[in-house]
Amino acid sequence: MTDLTWMDACAQAELVRSGQASPAELIDAAVDRIERVNPGLNAVIHPRFDKARSEAAGPLPDGPFRGVPLLVKDLGCQTDGDPYHCGTKFLKELGWTADHDTAFVGRFRQAGFVVVGRTNVPEFGTAITTEPASHGPARNPWNPDHSTGGSSGGTGAAVASGMTPVAHGNDGGGSIRIPASECGVVGLKPTRARVSQSPDVGEAWMGGTIDGVLTRTVRDTAAALDCIAGAEPGDPYPAPPLPRPLLQEVGADPGHLRVGILDHPLLPGVSADMDSATAVATAARLLENLGHKVEVSHPVALQEPEFQLHFGNIVMVAMAADLDSWSRRVGRDVTDDDIEAGNAALAAVGRSISAPAYLASVEWMHGYQRRMARWWAEDGFDVLVSPVLNGSPPPLGWLTDPEQGMTRVLEMMQYTAQFNITGQPAVSLPLHWTASGLPMGVQFTAAFGREDLLIRLAAQLEQAKPWAGRHPQVHA
């Protein structure tokens, strides 16, 4: 059988459809890759190999990805009967397992995917580096001494190193796009409510959290999102419908777009990382060569410093509520001794925020969404291009330093969380590598509901500047 390591999910599915490979062969090959590569990366923390082999040997739904291996993130994604630890030591010590599938897991399964394992995450997904005390750090396959990003860091490392062609991730402040950027893969954060979080969550972080995938090709991203998108009964609100399946947008002409360029940090006193600025400048030249109108412009609202305060209030209150929820589920109080110090501090502040103060932050954010939307709706821009992060993948431990870590996080995290609150789709594309060989994604953000436009543009950029042939230092 053809080597599957760098074959994308669409191509692997075609092998099964044409009879050139069986689902069992695809799963065996993925298990072999994970067993060989994962010890050096710690990306997969809960192997599911025996179950996956059994499922591949039995009847599978005749979906578009029949027999294709899939990894899922150990946060916000439950798979019935499997460990579910959310990066925490107390759930690990309890041996906590899920008792149902999250709704989009059911959609993955109906598409024919076979879940082969669960990936490493920072505790409760509140960090932009995957270094949990419970399971140890995930390592970047381009340089194992460096971070994978977070919170879908295990997922990013797994896809980049060739373990599986596609893997689940989710994003509440950049957690798909940041690992995609730092691991050199494709990561699209869908529009708010595009993928239902049923039955466990209606909305979280004021609707800022959303699920999706990390992949190595644009067509895999489009086709996988086609499989999991859609509302479930009882969802609080739906996303606007797409005009057609996203896979049909791959190769479609995006037209001549009006593109705004943002290449510098938004907070005063924060210095611009030169590699980040270079990545955006290179993308801007490429867009001009493709016939798009490129201008130095961005929504003025991005510069409002109050955003950080109100986003922090929303996250901290949510952290306190999450701990209360887990206390009820496990039948005892989850205390500060059960969790990492950073999350204990977040929860403590969250509990001090009054209900009126929290609602004031929500109200401020609603106004912020409208101020942001004007740039697309009234100023006439199609896409905003920016860095994903103000900096390249840092060394492990750099962002978790007890004294300097939070300052470093705020300096790096300049461009992503705003679009969780506005609900807009945004994608990180692997268009730049540093002189030392570390990847740095470029972010493309469209108006609310316009994943179709992002997929068209991303596919055009993928063809103009292919990245599929670049493989990391550690790979299968």
Catalytic (active-site) positions = 73, 151, 175
CA distance 447 to 283: 19
Nearest to 77 by CA among 180, 173, 167: 167
DSSP 102-149: -HHHHHHHHTT-EEEEEE---GGG-SSS---TTT----BTTBTTB---
Instruction: Please list, in sequence order, all residues whose beta carbon lies within 8 angstroms of the beta carbon of residue 343, skipping any fewer than 6 positions away.
Output: 123, 124, 126, 319
Question: Residue 326's Cα: distance from chain center in Å?
Answer: 24
Q: Rounded to whole angstroms, how far apart are CA atoms 164 and 159?
A: 6
3-class SS shares of the chain: helix, strand, coil, % to 5: 40, 15, 45
Instruction: Answer whether 182's CB lies under 8 Å from 140's CB.
Output: yes
Q: From CA 250, how far away is CA 464, in angstroms rounded?
A: 13
Closest CA to 285 of 431, 393, 181, 185: 431
* CA-to-CA separations, 428 to 357, 440, 465, in angstroms, rounded: 34, 9, 14
Up-side HSE of residue 66: CA atoms within 13 Å toward CB?
16
| Rounded Cα gap, residues 281 and 287, in angstroms | 10
| Structure token pair of residue 142 | 């381009």
The secondary structure of residue 242, as a DSSP letter, is: P
268, two tokens: 């005063």
Query: Helices 153-160 and 23-41 meet at what angle, rounded to 10?
Result: 120
